[in-house]
Amino acid sequence: MEEKKEGGEEDRQEAAIVGAGPAGLTAAYYLATKGHEVKLFDSFPKPGGMLRYGIPNYVCRRKVGPGHPSHSRMGVKFQGNTTVGKDISWTS
Ligand X SMILES: Cc1cc2nc3c(=O)[nH]c(=O)nc-3n(C[C@H](O)[C@H](O)[C@H](O)COP(=O)(O)OP(=O)(O)OC[C@H]3O[C@@H](n4cnc5c(N)ncnc54)[C@H](O)[C@@H]3O)c2cc1C
Residues of this chain that interact with ligand X (CB under 6 A) are 18-24, 41-44, 49-51, 54-55, 59, 83-85
b/e map of 45-84 (b: 16 or more CB within 10 Å)? ebbbbebbeeeeeeeeeeebbbeeebbeebebebeeebeb
Nearest distance from C-beta of residue 21 to ligand X, angstroms: 2
d(CA 47, CA 20): 5
To ligand X, the closest distance from the beta carbon of 27 in angstroms equals 9
Q: Which is nearer to ligand X, 75 or 80 (CB)?
A: 80
Smallest separation, CB 2 to ligand X (Å): 26
